[in-house]
Structure 1
Amino acid sequence: MATEFWYNMRTGEVEEGKQSGSLELAGPFSTRDEAARAPDILRERADAWREDEEAEKEWREGGS
């Protein structure tokens, strides 16, 4: 099994394998560098989801 990396949202540290409680972790990520970028990645994903939701809402309302 490949090693997974997790970003600990409480401490800001990258963990190799699950070492903390699930509520504190973001991941899994395939590399340590990717896990270290977790806050940026999560922000980018949230922005993309928000844009998708806004576009869908606009489409459902008839493009107004």
Structure 2
Amino acid sequence: MSEDEREQFWYNMRTGAVEQGFESPSVDRVGPFATREEASRALEKLRANSAKWAADDAADGR
């Protein structure tokens, strides 16, 4: 693991915990995020992205 990877934060979708580095299997993690605070808001970010993509698809007639 590189130094950069050890400094990044991830949100664990299974446990709801914020992790630094690769603490859990990749299937359970989303990220990376630059800060612990950003990672703690991962679900909020995912919901916002999903809503935006759905709106974009609806506007495109999909």
Q: Same fold (TM over 0.5)?
A: yes
What runs of 5+ residues in structure 1 fail to find an aligned partner? 59-64
Equivalent residue number for residue 55 of structure 1: 59
Which of these two proteins has the greater Rg computed from alpha carbons?
Answer: 1
Q: Deviations over 1:4-37 (max 9, x none)?
A: 1000001100000111111100101111000000
Match of 2:47 in 1: 43
**TM-score where L is the length of structure 1:** 0.84
Structure 1 residue aligned with 2:18? 14
Name segments (4+ residues, structure 1) moved above 4 Å.
none
Give the superposed CA RMSD.
Answer: 1.2
Aligned to 1:23: 27
Question: Equivalent pairs: percent with the same residue?
Answer: 47
TM-score, with normalisation over the residues of structure 2? Answer: 0.86
Count residues in correspondence.
Answer: 58
Structure 2 unaligned residues grouped into runs of 5+? none
Report whether the alignment pairs 1:34 with 2:35: no
